[in-house]
A and B are shown apart, each in its own frame.
Chain A
Amino acid sequence: NAGVTQTPKFRVLKTGQSMTLLCAQDMNHEYMYWYRQDPGMGLRLIHYSVGEGTTAKGEVPDGYNVSRLKKQNFLLGLESAAPSQTSVYFCASSWDRNQPQHFGDGTRLSIL
């Protein structure tokens, strides 16, 4: 039982490049979330999903897209990376909106 797995763990991009971050969970959770964390700040919600095929915007959705084609996977895409998107990205999942969220170990993304 791996819990929540994020890939890759590290990545460096050039401005304007695109990439996709993958989050996979093996707990059969319905809800999945993408957060970003910047120095000196808490986690801010980017997008979330309440089930397979659904997505919704969080607090800071601009510049990101997401997809939940399979229940166990939640993908975060950057179509045209910008230096302001340099951050640590965390994925989480939960049974429902009131149950605790389980987090992955993060993806450290630098955009030059």
Chain B
Amino acid sequence: DAKTTQPTSMDCAEGRAANLPCNHSTISGNEYVYWYRQIHSQGPQYIIHGLKNNETNEMASLIITEDRKSSTLILPHATLRDTAVYYCIVRVYPNTGNQFYFGTGTSLTVIP
């Protein structure tokens, strides 16, 4: 079973908000939701993480549903440099220990 489920790809117009959804129905009660992005040929870059409450930083906002089974990453004003693969990550354990399951992510294309 998938640990996280994300759309394979999405498009967003430059200057508009990009809303990237993620389902994580098997998340444990004390585990965080993390978002990373990966621009082609670079290492993944941390964006934001949260447990229960909504979070905001200089890059994005994270909205987590009350039942914690899904979340949405919001890039408020997408730019061309936000074109990347976005990974929604939850921890998976105990069988595999301290493991983050990255999945295949959502390929976001920001269109001029």
Nearest-Cβ distance from residue A7 to partner chain B, whole angstroms: 14
Q: Secondary structure of the B side of the interface?
A: loop
Residues of A within 8 A of B44 (CB): 43, 90, 92, 101, 103
Q: Are B97 and A48 in contact, with the CB atoms below 8 A?
A: yes
A105 in the interface (beta carbon within 8 A): yes
Q: Bound complex: CA of A100 vs CA of B44, how far in Å?
A: 11
> What is the total number of residues of chain B having a CB less than 8 Å from a CB of chain A?
22
- B32 CB contact (under 8 Å) in A56, A98, A103: A98
- B49 CB contact (under 8 Å) in A31, A59, A92, A100: A100
Query: Per-position contact with B for A40-68: 1 when CB-CB < 8 Å, else 0?
Result: 11111100101000001111000000000
Interface residues of A in 71-112 (CB under 8 A from B): 90, 92, 97-98, 100-106
Q: Are B45 and A42 in contact, with the CB atoms below 8 A?
A: no
Q: Bound complex: CA of A93 vs CA of B89, how far in Å?
A: 16
Most chain A Cβ neighbours within 10 Å, of B41, B42, B96, B100? B100
- A59 CB contact (under 8 Å) in B43, B87, B99, B104: B99
Q: Are A31 and B46 in contact, with the CB atoms below 8 A?
A: no
Residues of A within 8 A of B41 (CB): 106
Q: Are B98 and A42 in contact, with the CB atoms below 8 A?
A: no
Nearest-Cβ distance from residue B39 to partner chain A, whole angstroms: 11
